[in-house]
Structure 1
Amino acid sequence: MKSIKMIAVAAALALAGQAFAADWYVSPSGKNKNEGTSPSAPLKNIWKAIELASAGDVIHVAAGNYNGQMKKGWILLDKPVSLIGGYSDDFKTRDVIKNKTMFQPTNEMNSTKGQGILHINYKGANSKVVIDGFIFDQGEANSYHAVNGKPEGVATGMWLEPPAKGNTTNPSLNVYSLYGENSEGDLTIQNCVFVNTGNIALQVNHFAGNVKVLNNIFIANRIIGANVLAKQNKLGAVDYEFAYNTVMFTWTRTKEFGDMGFGVRSNTNCFSRIHNNLLALNMMAGFDNTKGDPKTKKVWLDKNAFILNKKGDVTVTVSPSILWLNVADDQFEDLEDAPSIESLSGNISISDPSIFKGKINQAYLEGFLNATYTEQTSYNENSPANLFRAAMGMNKQGSISSKVSMFMNKYPMEESLLLFGLMEGYGAQMPK
């Protein structure tokens, strides 16, 4: 009886805390000396609102670009508070497309980089956190080659991976939840845009609870679009819903196109519910299920639309092999018997690509479809240098030159917003 009373008291306290949650307001026209708790006296910076807020509070953010304290290029979310963007400067209207609320650091800010543009690192088992209506764009922080890997009409050359000479690319993540901390409870990320990320657009390391990634755009990111992991070693420790997202142009880890390049991945100890997404034009696969032992996770892959993922729509492990399949393949339904797959229904292959016309950057699309990597070797054992090496007892040498037609080039951020509402019932719909 005593334990029941203690639980009831704890629940009452939790509800009381939520009832007294405060609202905070942030605008580029505000001042950090303002009270911040009314639309007429907003704070200037998100980091300041987080500093003043308490667990459960909600921070409303007006259109503008927010780059952290002293413009260091990233913001630490170290309390379980919600961030809601897309407001007009007077907070009378909210439109996440019209009122662009951005985390868009510049190349000069890379020397003070954090783990992610928004670095989540809070504790609280009963937390309820919502991140809604933000644009996470790393395109201005990346470095791109002036001429190499630049198809006609594409804004930049290829992305430069550190430590290229003179390059200050920041290969951090757009949104990152630190592995090893006790972020728990409910985390929802919705109505956001993730574009031009140098290293995984969204990576959440959750101890236990629910993670919902809903109605977002992921475009022109590197390695993986969305990756949610469970820290707790228990099947179903994290219930992960990835739904109504549009994921396109996820590039491989390196310009050789050798590995990674997945739209969304399932991980061990998670229940992954992947549904109603548009997974298109990813360098490897739209959905990856090869990470970890299949017996340590469960996957529901239903009602997703796929098209032109370069190696396959889906990749799975059927021991001891890794299979790459398209949803239109005869063997696709056989995956229902594969370990970890709980459901596999209603997935479609898009037959009419005209839905992309006027919505997707045409030059970027053509460059991606034609992207190639080539190597050329040169070896002359009788060259003067090699004859000299041989005389000195040294190994003879050749050379290898490589060329890539396109790799992780910057996608125009403004055009990424056109992808909301691209396909009814699949992918990101127009935010309400």
Structure 2
Amino acid sequence: MIKPNTINVIKATVPVLQQHGEALTTLFYERMFKNNPEVKPFFNQAHQHSGGQQRALAGAICAYAEHIDEPEKLADAVELIAQKHASLGIKKEHYPIVGENLLAAIKTLLGDAATDEIINAWAEAYSNLMEIFINREQAIYDHHQKSFGWQGFKDFKVVKRENSSNTISSLYLQAADDMPLTPHTSGQYITVKWPTADGVSTLRNYSLSNRPGSEHYRISVKRELASISTPSGVVSNAIHDTIEEGDIIAISPPCGEFTLQAFDKTSTNHIVFIAGGVGITPLLSMLHTVLDNKNAVDVTLIQAVVNGDSHAFEEEIRSLANEHYNFTWHSRYSDPNGNDRNNQRFDSEGFIDDALLQDLVTSTAHTQFYLCGPEPMLQQCYQLLRHNNVASSQIHYEFFGPAGSLEHETPQ
């Protein structure tokens, strides 16, 4: 239990964190990677390079300080992080490393203002948070062992490889020991442990894109090319360039809190999936689950892609649309090419806007929305839904990359 005085001291630091949070987390990561290079493989260096990880951590620290006396407001964030940590294999012994470097970064940032009272308060607060995460993550590891039959990383064989678009390759995975797979929960991801040239493995999360209960897990990996803000993806490019059928890769059990919520027709009569690019992967698994459900509800998928070349799972989704009377599929291309126009491969052109949502969703009172895609698309769609009086509790979303929040985009 955190002492009242500690809570007061922590909350008094909120203005400083709001102003200098990213500077703090930048100092923290620089120090930790220098002093404890053994933890570096747990972090995606592309996200470090872009600053996304620093911003995400700054937001998390600020939220913790602001709501330290309201733990119920932190429950969702704690679960998201705990699931991510469990997917990567974060263990109890890693937490003192983070704590030591975080307190040192606070001292450096605050300078003479870093009184013993402030440092001791943050040490107590971190110790409390550490205990919460360790306990939750141990429960996840225990669940993995009981439900999936393993924890940590296990060898899987690539039994099939196929191109799902010009930028996305899908790998079908079966356990190398031929043990049957426990069904995942639609929306979950696994972590691939990829060996690097320097002998140190790196870790990457990939959503499971197939129907739960299949004899395999399917991951669908987008080739990440270099941009102004990020280098090319080390693992995604290696998977595209080197993986062949018969190869062995190590993966963790399914994790993740962005999952399909339980529903029935008394409370939910319409489920809308909005996917941007490779964001279709967890939503496709959810789509299969909803359409397999005997208590049918109306289902709509809005799939936003650049053009037909990058349109993933087109044939699979078309087959579902032909099979299920309660499923509406709308493909919107932002930049269709001549072949797309000649063959009428898309339903509309442009970005997702209010007119499209109004056309496809006539009533939002009992509708659940699931969003996944690039952050600008998520922000746009979230704003549109909130402006149409959709409650935040009806909107579920996942960032591909460092966790963020769309709540600050909500109109007042």
Question: What TM-score, normalized by structure 2, do the two folds share?
Answer: 0.27
| Structure with the bigger percentage of helix | 2
Q: TM-score, normalised by structure 1?
A: 0.27
Q: Relative contact order, CA 8 A, sep 6+: which one is greater?
A: 2
